[in-house]
């Protein structure tokens, strides 16, 4: 009997290998619910890893972020559980004994701390404005944090007398830099009445603002490794476009004074301290305030006395982000076409070397205190992001997470990178997604999904989505093209500059030539083509709506329809001035050339318009203008406003709704189906 059971199990195993488990077409909810991870932080000694885990809470209609921990490379477990909000920004204390993070308690974000061995967390701050960011001091005895000024009393007093009003670009609270003493012996203690009245005792535990009544708003900041200084970026006010005037200063802990160290006409941003505390790294556009939206920023090192300034990575033609500096050199990550790699910059000669990790896309990383161990998040063409550890210099990779197990039973996208010449000869790359049962002898409908930015980038991945049911369209029997049109990241400064004074026009060349390339290859049905995109991708889709009748259906997500309308409503006016090299009053012609509304009378394509009600980046007048114009010329159109949202749809239920709206729209005009959205 025993031998029979063994034989039976062997037969079942061989059948399982011969006939793999049938994968299923995932629901929209399953794609939206895929868990993710970001922001790994390795412990100082290099044995443990903190990271942010992301999940979907359908009941509360929110995307939840919590802190997870892997001890000694073992299976991670969830460390925090904030029932209504999220916990973010985990940071190890310098001795590895404590874990601090920011938790939203429903009113404001506050710093929490817990023992790294486990146990309850304790709230360290109780600020009225909420903590923006924080950093441990190198000795672990203090925590520096930033928060907006508390103006609640002034605001309340004004409203009681005059009601509610706001002066544009003048209603804000400056972000201030504070420090807090960290005393583990006080954690969890309820202060005695006499202690609360004792001014000496209270001064030791209350946060202290470092620079009061200063004429700027603090941005990124970091303690020097010797703990004697804090370098920080600052701008005149927290208004978004004021980053164009950001500079860098250093605060001296002992003298309680600060001095300016970098002050260019263009934006300057703090990056990192040198390990010896004698110099800093910063990024800058120098005096450039007219093209820094699409040109490379420059990286410099400078001594704390403002002497011996030297440019690094001068010959590297891409943006370098997530820069850090340790005993092994300066590190960062950067796109190289559709690959994103870890880089090392020599602090002395500025030479850049790519550090091969055998994972094509590195999203974030962290070094141990002695820089001998490294953790990073990364993904390949067919995986979701995972965490990996290795020693430095690089050796064998050890995978810490199994996030991709979520898609093992699902029919997901198969990706290949293709390229084609655009109308002006520029070579354009794109990601072509195919179904898992792709038939090379069949012609497929094509859906073009255009990324935002314009300095975004599309990459191979198994479950691309947002508000577009890409995986489900593939499984329905379509191909999906995601072009990296001119202006995309990863292809160098010159490529990112190609749509300057040519927005829409050059982008349309790139999309249309990509469609034609696939049509010439005989793999798509040129009579069944649709297009969509969000933000800049929405703008390009709107441009296609009014300038060609090639597409059977188009979806415009938060897209610009008229650059004049956009210019006077957006929260980033310099973007338009830089890309169009003019204001509407100085060059009306360039605004007309690049605006979808200019050729609205030619529009015929059925067009769905999706827009967030409170969008400040691309305000709703752009959606309403396109909607009315399409109605006036008799084109099929529908405008859907998502209540309470800004530039992105950031809650799962509304994202599900937007996904259904696109499924219904393209189902009707590409496949000729009347689809009812389930109640």
Q: What is the DSSP letter of 452?
A: S
**Is 126 a domain residue?**
yes
Q: What is the CA radius of gyration of the chain?
A: 27
The answer on 503 and 451 residing in a single domain is yes
**Is 31 a domain residue?**
no
CATH classification at residue 79: 2.120.10.30
> CB within 8 A of 322, min separation 6: which ones?
332, 333, 364, 365
240 C-beta neighbours (distance < 10 Å), count: 15
Torsion angle, alpha carbons of 169, 170, 172, 175, to 10:
90
pLDDT at 561 over 60: yes
Query: Nearest 5°: phi and psi at 588?
Result: -65, -30
The answer on 319 and 331 residing in a single domain is yes
pLDDT at 190 over 80: no
> CB within 8 A of 457, min separation 6: which ones?
335, 338, 451, 484, 488, 489, 490
- Mean local confidence (pLDDT), 460-476: 98
**Is 299 a domain residue?**
no
**Is 159 a domain residue?**
no
The answer on 110 and 66 residing in a single domain is yes
79 C-beta neighbours (distance < 10 Å), count: 20
The answer on 563 and 595 residing in a single domain is yes
CATH classification at residue 420: 3.40.50.1820
The answer on 449 and 322 residing in a single domain is no
C-alpha span between 86 and 73 (Å, rounded) = 25
Give 242-265 as a DSSP string. Answer: GGGG-EEEEEETTTTEEEEEE--S
Query: Nearest 5°: phi and psi at 653?
Result: -70, -45
Is-contact 397 448, C-beta < 8 A? no
The reported pTM is 0.93
- Mean local confidence (pLDDT), 328-353: 97
Q: What is the pLDDT of residues 636-666, one digit of tens each?
A: 999 999 999 999 999 999 999 999 999 999 9
Domain boundary among 408, 427, 449: 408
Domain boundary among 408, 429, 464: 408
The answer on 519 and 403 residing in a single domain is no
Q: What is the pLDDT of residues 381-419, one digit of tens each?
A: 999 999 999 999 988 999 999 999 999 999 999 999 999
Region of residue 413 (left: phi > 0; alpha: psi -120 to 50; beta: else): beta
pLDDT at 555 over 50: yes
* CA 58 to chain centroid: 22
Q: What is the DSSP letter of 580?
A: H
Exposure string (b/e) for 501-529, b if CB count within 10 Å is 16 or more? Answer: ebbbebbbbbbbbbbebbbeeebbbeebb
The answer on 493 and 576 residing in a single domain is yes
Q: What is the DSSP letter of 601?
A: G
The answer on 573 and 492 residing in a single domain is yes
The answer on 415 and 382 residing in a single domain is no
The answer on 417 and 404 residing in a single domain is no
**Is 15 a domain residue?**
no
Domain span holding position 569: 410-670
**Is 44 a domain residue?**
yes
Residue 105, helix vs strand vs coil:
coil
**Is 263 a domain residue?**
no
Residue 82, helix vs strand vs coil:
coil
Beta strand 77-78 with 87-92 is unpaired
Q: What is the pLDDT of residues 83-96, one digit of tens each?
A: 889 999 999 999 99
Beta strand 444-450 with 524-534 is parallel
The answer on 338 and 487 residing in a single domain is no
Six-digit token string for 223: 């303690």
How many percent of the chain have pLDDT more than 70? 94
C-alpha span between 322 and 331 (Å, rounded) = 8
**Considering its fold, how many domains does the chain have in total?**
3
Confidence of residue 200 (pLDDT cuts 50, 70, 90): very low
**Is 247 a domain residue?**
no
The continuous run of DSSP H or E covering 373 comes out as strand 373-379
Bridge partners for 248 per DSSP: 233, 262
Is-contact 294 497, C-beta < 8 A? yes
Q: What is the pLDDT of residues 131-180, one digit of tens each?
A: 999 999 999 999 999 999 988 888 889 999 999 999 988 888 999 999 99
The answer on 638 and 577 residing in a single domain is yes
Domain boundary among 393, 408, 423: 408
C-alpha span between 246 and 264 (Å, rounded) = 8
């Amino acid at each position: 009997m025993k031998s029979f059971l063994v034989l039976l199990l062997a037969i079942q195993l061989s059948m399982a290998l011969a006939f793999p488990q049938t994968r299923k077409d995932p629901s929209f909810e399953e794609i939206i619910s895929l868990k993710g991870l970001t922001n790994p932080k390795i412990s100082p000694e290099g044995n443990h890893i903190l990271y942010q885990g992301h999940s979907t809470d359908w009941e509360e209609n929110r995307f939840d972020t919590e802190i997870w921990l892997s001890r000694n490379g073992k299976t991670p477990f969830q460390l925090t559980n904030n029932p209504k909000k999220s916990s973010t920004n985990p940071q190890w204390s310098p001795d590895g004994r404590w874990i601090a993070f920011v938790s939203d308690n429903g009113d404001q974000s506050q710093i929490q701390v817990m023992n790294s061995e486990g146990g309850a967390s304790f709230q360290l701050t109780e600020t009225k404005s909420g903590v923006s960011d924080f950093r441990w001091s190198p000795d672990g005895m203090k925590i520096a944090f930033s928060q907006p000024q508390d103006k609640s009393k002034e605001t309340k007093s004004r409203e009681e007398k005059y009601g509610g009003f706001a002066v544009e670009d003048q209603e804000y609270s400056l972000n201030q830099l504070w420090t807090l003493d960290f005393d583990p012996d006080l954690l969890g203690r309820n202060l005695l009445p006499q202690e609360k009245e004792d001014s000496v005792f209270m001064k030791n535990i209350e946060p202290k603002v470092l620079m009061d009544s200063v004429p700027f708003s603090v941005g990124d900041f970091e303690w020097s490794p010797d703990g004697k200084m804090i370098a920080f970026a600052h701008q005149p006010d927290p208004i978004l476009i004021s980053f164009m005037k950001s500079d860098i200063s250093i605060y001296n802990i002992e003298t309680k004074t600060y001095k300016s160290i970098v002050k260019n006409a263009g934006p300057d941003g703090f990056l990192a301290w040198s390990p010896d505390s004698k110099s800093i790294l910063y990024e800058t556009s120098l005096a450039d305030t007219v093209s820094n939206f699409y040109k490379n920023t420059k990286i410099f090192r400078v001594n704390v006395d403002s002497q011996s300034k030297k440019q690094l990575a001068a010959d590297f033609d891409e943006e370098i982000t997530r820069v850090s500096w340790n005993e092994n050199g300066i590190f960062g990550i950067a796109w190289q076409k559709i690959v994103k790699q870890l880089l090392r910059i020599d602090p002395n000669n500025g030479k850049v070397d790519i550090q091969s990790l055998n994972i094509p896309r590195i999203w974030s990383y962290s070094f141990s205190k002695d820089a001998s161990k490294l953790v990073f998040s990364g993904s390949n063409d067919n995986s979701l992001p995972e965490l990996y550890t290795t020693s430095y210099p690089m050796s064998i990779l050890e995978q810490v997470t199994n996030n991709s197990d979520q898609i093992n039973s699902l029919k997901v996208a198969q990706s290949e990178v293709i390229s084609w010449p655009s109308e002006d000869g520029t070579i354009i790359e794109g990601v072509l997604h195919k179904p898992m049962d792709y038939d090379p002898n069949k012609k497929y409908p094509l859906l073009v999904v255009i990324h935002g930015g314009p300095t975004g980038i599309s990459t191979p991945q198994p479950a691309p989505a947002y508000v577009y049911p890409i995986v489900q369209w593939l499984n329905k029997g379509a191909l999906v093209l995601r072009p990296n049109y001119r202006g995309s990241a990863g292809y160098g400064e010159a490529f990112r500059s190609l749509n300057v004074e040519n927005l829409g026009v050059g982008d349309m060349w790139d999309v249309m030539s990509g469609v034609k390339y696939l049509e010439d290859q005989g793999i798509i049905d040129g009579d069944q083509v649709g297009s969509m995109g969000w933000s800049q991708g929405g703008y390009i889709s709107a441009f296609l709506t009014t300038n060609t009748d090639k597409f059977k259906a188009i979806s415009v997500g938060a897209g610009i329809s008229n650059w004049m309308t956009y210019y006077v409503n957006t929260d980033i006016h310099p973007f338009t001035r830089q890309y169009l090299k003019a204001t509407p009053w100085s060059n009306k012609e360039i605004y007309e050339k690049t605006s979808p509304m200019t050729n609205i009378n030619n529009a015929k394509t059925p067009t769905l318009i999706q827009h967030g009600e409170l969008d400040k980046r691309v305000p709703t007048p752009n959606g309403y203008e396109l909607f009315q114009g399409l109605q006036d010329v008799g084109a099929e159109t529908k405008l859907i406003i998502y209540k309470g949202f800004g530039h992105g749809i950031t809650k799962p239920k509304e994202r599900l709704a937007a996904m259904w709206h696109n499924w219904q729209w393209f189902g009707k005009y590409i496949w000729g189906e009347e689809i009812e959205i389930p109640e």
